[in-house]
Amino acid sequence: MSRVIVFGGHGRIALLLAPLLVDRGDQVTAVIRNPDHAADVEATGATAVVADVETADVGALAEIIRGHDAVVWSAGAGGGNPDRTYAVDRDAAISSMDAAARAGVARYVMVSWIGSTADHGVSEDDSFFAYADAKWAADEHLRATDLEGTILGPGALTFDEPTGRIELDAQGSGAVARADVAAVIAATLTEPLTIGRTIRFGNGTPESSEPIALALAR
């Protein structure tokens, strides 16, 4: 049994992840900003904790994280306001990493996106730029820490039924079902070979994909 804390606990992926973890015997803490979302989160078997990651400092985040075995960062501002995007997707994410280190929780899984690279190619006048820039900064910070980090880079998210299969370094948009992203997160937490890696993936095709566990163990 592991104790896993998930930031962004009311997000679509997190709501699919929590029951996967609970069903295998893990204890899940889901961090949410809106207390009205607590019932949705606790219906998955997770324990809801209300905290605003935009305003919480490293010390406050460390208190929330302390006592867990792993951190999953699946929080995001959801686009729109660039200032809030930087505040959540970059600054709060970085604070959570520093907090995990302070709390003595080494295992950290970052949910990023397939295009998060230094040369992501998003123009500064594009509304998506703030997200691309913020995620790259957060990913780079994780790589520079001593945490046992894994960066997951799924492609374009869909509501398709899960396949249980992924293609590593998928081409194009790397479309992938949210439920498969949740399954990848769950599998990553138990696969030591994912530590220190950036894993970009999509669903691919039946011919190009492979079972999630096999892909992550390569």
When pLDDT is averaged across residues 176-196 and rounded to a whole number, the result is 98
C-alpha dist (Å) from residue 146 to 57, 141, 143, 150: 20, 10, 8, 12
The predicted structure's pLDDT at residue 118: 83
The residue with tokens 């994410």 is: 93
The predicted structure's pLDDT at residue 172: 85
Q: Is 176 in contact with 215 (CB distance < 8 Å)? A: no
How many C-beta atoms surround the C-beta of residue 72 within 10 A? 31
* Global pTM value: 0.96
Which residues is 3 bridged to in the sheet?
A: 27
Percent above pLDDT 70 for the chain: 100
- Is residue 80 pLDDT above 80, yes or no? no
| Helical segments of 66-196, H only | 82-85, 93-103, 129-144, 178-188
pLDDT band at 58 (very low <50, low <70, confident <90, very high): very high
C-alpha dist (Å) from residue 160 to 24, 55, 115, 179: 23, 35, 21, 8
- Is residue 150 pLDDT above 80, yes or no? yes
Helix (H, G, I), strand (E, B) or coil at 94: helix
Q: Tens of pLDDT along 123-136?
A: 888 888 999 999 99
- Is residue 78 pLDDT above 90, yes or no? no
The predicted structure's pLDDT at residue 183: 98
**Cα 187–chain centre separation:** 13
- Residue ranges of domains in the chain, CATH in brackets: 3-216 (3.40.50.720)
- Is residue 45 pLDDT above 90, yes or no? yes
DSSP conformation class of 192: G
pLDDT band at 143 (very low <50, low <70, confident <90, very high): very high
When pLDDT is averaged across residues 165-169 and rounded to a whole number, the result is 97
The predicted structure's pLDDT at residue 174: 96
The predicted structure's pLDDT at residue 79: 74
The predicted structure's pLDDT at residue 54: 94
